[in-house]
Amino acid sequence: MIWQVQSRRLGPLGRVDLVSRGPVAENPDDLNDWAQVWRHWHDGRPMILNADGIAAKTLRAAGFWPLLTPATLCVLPLGDTAKMRAALQQKWRNRLNRVQRTDVTVVKRALKTDDWLLQAEAEHAKTKGYRGLPPAFSVAFAQANPGLACVYEARHKGQPIAASLMLRHGRMATWQIGQSTEAGRALNAMNLVLWEAMQDLARAGHDQIDLGILNEQDAAGLTRFKLGTGARAHRLGGTWLHLGCLAPMARWLPDRMCA
């Protein structure tokens, strides 16, 4: 079992540790054991835990308080092309069929430092009022990991109309950015972009794609697009705080506070 700890100072709390999306264990049953033994290596300072796979009841018993409700991740399994196509929802598959009958093509290329995709993402984020990782993160990943930041770009009549940036890491790939022009949306170009990426990443040995957080309330259309691929919803464990003076009371919290 492994986990990574990051530390920083947060005002009156002093030094605070963060364990994000961890710990990770080959045997899922070991995760609940971690909640009982982590104090053996910890010095008692506050710790924030983004738990994945540890039951809320177990965390409360170990003295953790819930801070944020769990988010739901969209995970797309990869594999045989025929099986992936069969897993597509009917409307998604119909849109893919339509765009495949056009002259839209998809090319795979490296991310550029001044990529139009990065600029489009920044403009879209500003317009919609959401905050994601800055373009500099994607550029830094590409520079540090040559060949692992892949842009799948749809072109029509020589012009880019949609693209996605996939970051490859281990057996998984992450959909980092996806943008489409008006022409791309009219042609269902993003369906073709993702379909070509799915096949290419499967051939490269990846097992799944992280399509990001599902947000039905603020992005219902994007949620339907993601789930239409045959992806599954994976609920994360939420964000928890262990603070010495509050820990003894955590086990008495009502279940509704930890849902």
Contact indicator for 154, 188 with CB cutoff of 8 Å: no
Q: Please indicate, yes or no, whether residues 14 and 81 belong to a single structural domain of this protein.
A: no
Q: Please indicate, yes or no, whether residues 129 and 247 belong to a single structural domain of this protein.
A: no
Residue 163, both tokens:
């693209």
Q: Is the pLDDT of residue 255 over 70?
A: no
pLDDT band at 14 (very low <50, low <70, confident <90, very high): confident
Q: Please indicate, yes or no, whether residues 54 and 89 belong to a single structural domain of this protein.
A: no
Domains in the chain, number: 2
The pTM of the full predicted model, rounded to 2 decimals, is: 0.83
- Please tell me whether the peptide bond between 77 and the residue prior to it is cis, using omega within 30 degrees of 0: no
Average pLDDT over residues 77-94: 98
Highest mean pLDDT out of 38-52, 65-79, 195-209, 210-224: 195-209
Strand 105-110 and strand 149-156: the pairing is antiparallel
Q: Please indicate, yes or no, whether residues 153 and 212 belong to a single structural domain of this protein.
A: yes
In this prediction, residue 43 carries a pLDDT of 73
Please state which of the ranges 49-63, 89-103, 190-204 shows the lowest mean pLDDT: 49-63
Q: Please indicate, yes or no, whether residues 10 and 118 belong to a single structural domain of this protein.
A: no
Q: Please indicate, yes or no, whether residues 251 and 215 belong to a single structural domain of this protein.
A: no
Q: Is the pLDDT of residue 254 over 70?
A: no
Q: Is the pLDDT of residue 146 over 60?
A: yes
Q: What is the CATH number of the domain that holds 147?
A: 3.40.630.30
Highest mean pLDDT out of 3-12, 37-46, 95-104: 95-104
Q: Is the pLDDT of residue 65 over 60?
A: yes
Between residues 213 and 62, the one the model is more confident about: 213
Q: At what angle do helices 116-128 and 135-144 cross, to 10 degrees?
A: 150
Q: Is the pLDDT of residue 259 over 60?
A: no
In this prediction, residue 2 carries a pLDDT of 78
Between residues 19 and 107, the one the model is more confident about: 107
Q: Please indicate, yes or no, whether residues 54 and 82 belong to a single structural domain of this protein.
A: no
In this prediction, residue 63 carries a pLDDT of 84
Average pLDDT over residues 167-183: 96
Q: Is the pLDDT of residue 258 over 60?
A: no
Q: Please indicate, yes or no, whether residues 49 and 143 belong to a single structural domain of this protein.
A: no
Residue 102, in any domain of the structure: yes
Domain enclosing residue 217, as ranges? 73-235
Tens digits of residue pLDDT in 115-138:
999 999 999 888 877 777 888 999
Q: Is the pLDDT of residue 24 over 90?
A: no
Q: Please indicate, yes or no, whether residues 189 and 244 belong to a single structural domain of this protein.
A: no
Contact indicator for 1, 32 with CB cutoff of 8 Å: no
Q: Please indicate, yes or no, whether residues 58 and 15 belong to a single structural domain of this protein.
A: yes
Q: Is the pLDDT of residue 142 over 90?
A: yes
Produce one character per residue of 78-109: b if its CB has 16 or more CB atoms within 10 Å, e if not: beeeeebeebbeeebbebbeebeeeebebeee
In this prediction, residue 6 carries a pLDDT of 85
What is the residue-averaged pLDDT of the chain? 89
In this prediction, residue 61 carries a pLDDT of 84
